A and B are shown apart, each in its own frame.
Chain A
């Protein structure tokens, strides 16, 4: 019974089959239309529960976008879809005009230029801060190459630049395991930057940070925007208020409201489902 159906499908001339499309090998990021990330009608369900419900979201290059929403609104699932960890049931996800994220594996997506910082910092504790950045640096990763590779002065400069950017120049030779929680988070962001990503996904960067550390993180993320596109998922409303240009509010797996912080806060639906709740 399967075969006639297949032939019937094949005879249907109103669609283009994947096999007909040329396979794109390591395509270049194309943002000529002014959008770096397209998510359209993405639906993900887990055992009948719709974590994402026809989510549609566009992000511009160089933007600093904050995604907020109550627990279970689908923030983390959205990140998982973008990085290839979760495959959606339906919808399309494109990185620039040409890179179909749903066709790429996790490492391939990372190679294409999407870096993700997880909630829990996972730096290498026995290596120094410098060595952590060195390990993360984009370049030839083959074993034989690494055995004889020496850092060029250009590479050293890049590491030092990143160190300055994340404010850990003084901790250059410190063991990463000895850093404070906030410093580890910055190092982790630095390690992402060493891979030269075009799009940075940052998951709850200030969870567990002191107010001073939170402030420093806000400065860091604001300074990254422009050069990189940054998407931040965060619970902390004060933090979001301090950095956000554009805020997207998720609710039950789809976009509830989008705009600048003042507009979003004034939106009665948003007030009802999220901001209205006593903080």
Chain B
């Protein structure tokens, strides 16, 4: 009862957040129910494919929120946030690989196929423990968090900010991509990790497992959203916005600006890691392509399209752009990159506050 009142107080005066959480509840509970209860001939029956697609969009939305948290509220533009997403994904992928067991092509009970193929005779040390679900999930949080901590500490302590920070994050994700492409790294090289069989003993191909993953993703998105919302509404949140608008002034007031930025960055990195971990079992593969700088830029475009600094705008942008991508890459594949580029230019020139800003100004004009 008190939890509900805390939540309702948090969402006060925030129509966008209430609409988003309502929609999320509708989608997260409604779609699986409709899938199970309605006959396949019904218009409202979502196919397994649709469920998978929406599940994937929700992981993208979580990534978009993590970017909006640092970019929209603290002015830190990370062009390498997919590095955290992909690392979370790899941690989950490693767990799923260890679950394959003897069902692999080579039938080795311990070693994943690609290691047998490379004629390795034992697991590298960093694969140890990844067969335990709780340990793998801990790594999903810890590995991106640790990278964000070390990288952010070095960058913010030296007062690297603005476009320079964006460039080095881009370099970070590019370097990781090159590293993960190498077979010696022990992450499957070019092919990455795939051919997963089951998660926690449930068959990944089964519809019930897919619905389970869908619901877990919806819950994670909702909790991630509420956590970010809570952070930006706290006094900590007001300080980070102050840092965005006047870093020097905030420092002069006695705030340790680099600490604020660092903890926000670490939290954002962990959130992106969770998004990646939920993404991998739903799409069935993780490869170094996820580290590609282009992906990171695309994720930033989602946030820009939706509208910075609102959180729900980021979700809207992620869903909107990815729906367009799904549509275009089927209907007119050559045009997709042009459409993305045009979208970015149009949003930058005409919609500096994204779709959310457009909706708000329409609402104001109606009054």
Is B239 at the interface (CB under 8 A from chain A)? Answer: yes
Collect the chain A residues with CB atoms within 8 Å of residue B238's CB.
127, 131, 134-135
B254 CB within 8 Å of chain A = yes
Q: Which of B234, B244, B263 contacts A148 (CB 8 A)?
A: B234
Compute how far the CA of A195 lies from the CA of B253 in the bound complex, rounded to whole angstroms: 9
Which residue among A111, A142, A151 has the maximum number of chain B CB atoms within 10 Å of its CB?
Answer: A142
Closest chain A CB from B247 CB (angstroms): 11
Question: Is B159 close to A, CB under 8 A?
Answer: no
- How many residues of chain B have a CB within 8 Å of chain A? 21
Q: Taking the complex as formed, is B29 at the interface, i.e. its CB lies under 8 A from any CB of chain A?
A: no
Which residues of chain A from 101 to 130 have any CB-CB distance to chain B below 8 Å in the complex?
106-107, 110-111, 122, 124-127
A124 touching B241 by the CB < 8 A rule? yes
Beta-carbon contact of A146 and B239 below 8 Å: yes
Q: Does B117 contact A (CB under 8 A)?
A: no
Given known A-B contacts A124-B242, A146-B239, A135 and B253 have beta carbons under 8 A apart: yes
State A232–B231 Cα separation when bound (angstroms): 40
- State the Cβ distance, A97 to closest chain B Cβ, in Å: 25
**Interface residues contributed by chain A, number (CB under 8 Å):** 24
Q: Which residue in B234, B242, B256, B263 is a CB contact (below 8 Å) of A135?
A: B242
Q: Is B182 close to A, CB under 8 A?
A: no
In the assembled complex, A20 has its CB within 8 A of some CB on chain B = no
Q: Which residues of A contact B231 (CB under 8 A)?
A: 147
Q: Mark B206-240, 1 if CB is under 8 A from A, else 0.
A: 00000000000000000000000001001110110
Contact partner, B254, options A127, A131, A141, Cβ 8 Å: A141
Instruction: Tell me whether A266 is interfacial, beta carbon within 8 Å.
Output: no
Shortest B72–chain A CB gap in Å is 11
Do the beta carbons of A142 and B242 come within 8 Å of each other? Answer: no
Q: Within the complex, what minimum Cβ distance (angstroms) separates A158 from chain B?
A: 15
Cα distance A135–B237 in the bound complex, in angstroms: 11
CB <8 Å contact, B259 and A142: yes
In Å, the complex CA distance between A272 and B253 comes to 42
Q: Is the interface of A mostly helix, strand, loop or mixed?
A: helix
Tally the A-B contacts, defined by beta carbons under 8 Å.
Answer: 59
Residues of B within 8 A of A147 (CB): 231, 234-236
On whether the beta carbons of B241 and A110 are closer than 8 Å, the reply is no
- Asked if A124 meets B263 with Cβ closer than 8 Å, knowing A107-B252, A135-B239, A142-B256, the reply is no
Expressed in whole angstroms, the minimum distance between the Cβ of A192 and any Cβ of chain B is 10
Contacts of A170 in B (CB 8 A): none
In B252-274, which residues have CB < 8 Å from any A CB?
Answer: 252-256, 259-260, 263
Residues of A within 8 A of B254 (CB): 107, 110-111, 141
B242, A127: Cβ atoms closer than 8 Å: yes
For the complex, what is the distance from the CA of A195 to the CA of B235, rounded to whole Å?
Answer: 17
* Residue on A nearest B244 in the bound complex, by CB: A126
Q: Chain B residues near A143 (CB, 8 Å)?
A: 236, 239, 256, 259-260, 263
In this assembly, does A149 line the interface, its C-beta being within 8 Å of a C-beta of chain B? yes
Given contacts A107-B254, A124-B246, whether A134 and B235 have CB atoms under 8 Å apart is: yes
Query: Which A73-117 residues have a C-beta within 8 angstroms of B?
Result: 106-107, 110-111
B195 in the interface, Cβ–Cβ < 8 Å?
Answer: no
In chain A between 152 and 177, which residues have their CB closer than 8 angstroms to a CB of chain B?
A: none
A135-B253, A195-B253 known, 16 other contacts, Cβ within 8 Å: A106-B252, A107-B252, A122-B249, A134-B235, A141-B253, A141-B255, A143-B239, A143-B259, A143-B263, A146-B234, A146-B236, A146-B239, A146-B260, A147-B235, A150-B235, A151-B235
Counting from the closest, the 5 A-B pairs by CB-CB distance are A147-B236, A146-B236, A143-B259, A146-B235, A124-B242
A contacts, CB < 8 Å to B: 106-107, 110-111, 122, 124-127, 131, 134-136, 141-144, 146-151, 195
A-B contact pairs, 5 of them (CB 8 A): A135-B250, A141-B253, A142-B259, A146-B239, A149-B234
